[in-house]
Structure 1
Amino acid sequence: MKNKILVVAVHPDDETLGAGGTLLKHKSMGNEIHWLICTTINEKHSYHNKRLQEIEKVSKVYGFDSVHNLKLQTMQVDEYSMSELIGKISFVINEVKPDMIYLPFFKDVHSDHRKIFEAAYSCTKSFRYPFIKKIYMMEVVSETEFAPSFSSESFIPNVFVDISDFIEQKIDIMNLFESEIDKVPFPRSEENIKALATFRGSSSGCKYAESFVLLKEIF
């Protein structure tokens, strides 16, 4: 049976860093993949138009079945009310009706990530959104690894996806976000993205993997 997947990217590139290989794998299996981008660069920013072009290129490469953009101001998500955020995210979820959702990690260091997680997770109650059957949190390099080092707030994955066949394409897609990738020791470098995939692969018996925290699964 075809699945419908929604990835909630606080910033465009989060979907690729956290679940790029997994999304490509889903697509190769005939599943629908949908992209919810939550934030945007201010229109007055010199990079605004370039970012829109990047999003369009990335969308085509993945073959997303739909792309939604809430156009919240990046790095200012905490200035929006929770009810406004929930309303915007709920609208998209009800439109897509995914059975599987990928969310940011609830303790990512970026406040935008934490606020979007809280709002999005509020939109997964089974009595209001009965079509949602699986909820995961993603690992986004440069955000997730900087969470406080307490067991209750650290990213401890319990789901691993073999992306060995898709790692090179994931890297190619990430390179489309020209301003978001740099050389080592920058966290979002080709080497470090591959290193994380290698590490997660070593934990799951494959060459390259992405890892997730399963929050809920309903059979």
Structure 2
Amino acid sequence: VADVVVVAPHSDDEVLGAGGTIAAFARAGATVTVVTVCTEYEPIFPAGSAELTQAEAKRAHKLLGVSESIFFDYSAVELNQVPVAELNGRIQQVMDGINPEIVFLPFPDRHIDHRIVCEATVVATRPYRKGRQIRLTAMYETISETFWNVPGTEPTFSPHWTVDISDTIEAKLAAFGEMPSRHVHFPGPRSIEALDALAKFRGSQASCGYGEAFQLVRTSLHPTELTRMWP
């Protein structure tokens, strides 16, 4: 059974972008670890935000079947002040300790924290030394941020792969329900209605009820591994 690592800049990105996929892997018997890089510290965020958002994330992870939740101690929206080698090294330590076969990371969108975490994770998952055993690396979309890019000057999310989450969409929405501090009213993007609508749209693109879309970084899956998926 595969070991899966999901790297999230903030403690809702993993649910927004890959919550249904996380639940699907966990139900299939995979060990799923979520690494959250940033936390909402004072004075940028209100007092108590760090404790609140981490508690919400832990409840959400429990619903999804996450085996381990790892929280780094970097301040949100100040990640650009962290030395590159330091962040790369911390993510590398996680990868070396878990030796995952599958890694999910954020698409490098409008949010600077997302771009930095993407870069660091790509470094830590290079197909070299221990990284050679990683069979699949893919980027997830974060509703709102991924679609606020500047057309023509910033990268555009172009998915290659859709995961059918028809059986786990309820778990994804329930997990986000455990994060009330992140909620906005529809038509705000971080709403239950918007999450449901995006999952339906991504599903319709791949002829399934609900889907989550990913842009591949690299994969080295062998045909024999793929044929085992369709007995």
Find the aligned partners of 2:39 and 2:154 in 1 and give their Cα distance.
31
Q: Is the 8 A contact 2:2 2:101 kept in 1?
A: yes
Q: How far is the alpha carbon of 1:42 from its aligned partner?
A: 1.5
Find the aligned partners of 1:70 and 1:13 in 2 and give their Cα distance.
14
Find the aligned partners of 1:126 and 1:184 in 2 and give their Cα distance.
41
Find the aligned partners of 2:83 and 2:112 in 1 and give their Cα distance.
14
Alignment identity in percent? 33
Name the count of aligned residue pairs: 217
Instruction: Report the counterpart of residue 90 of structure 1 in structure 2.
Output: 92
Q: Any residues of structure 2 matched to 1:1-219 within 5 Å, and which?
A: 2-42=1-41, 45-106=47-108, 108-128=109-129, 129-150=131-152, 153-219=155-221
Q: Is the 8 A contact 1:7 1:15 kept in 2?
A: yes
Find the aligned partners of 2:165 and 2:140 in 1 and give their Cα distance.
14
Deviation per CA, 1:198-219, whole angstroms, max 9, x where unpaired?
Answer: 1111100011100001110113
Q: How far is the alpha carbon of 1:172 from its aligned partner?
A: 1.0
Letter in 2 for 1:138: Y
Find the aligned partners of 2:57 and 2:196 in 1 and give their Cα distance.
22
Find the aligned partners of 1:82 and 1:49 in 2 and give their Cα distance.
26
Q: Is the 8 A contact 1:68 1:92 kept in 2?
A: no
Letter in 1 for 2:3: K
SS at structure 2 position matched to 1:130 = helix
TM-score (norm 1): 0.94
Find the aligned partners of 1:43 and 1:51 in 2 and give their Cα distance.
13
Deviation per CA, 1:59-78, whole angstroms, max 9, x where unpaired?
Answer: 32222222211111111000
Taking only aligned residues, the RMSD between alpha carbons, in angstroms, comes to 1.5
Gaps of 5+ in 1: none
SS at structure 1 position matched to 2:133 = coil
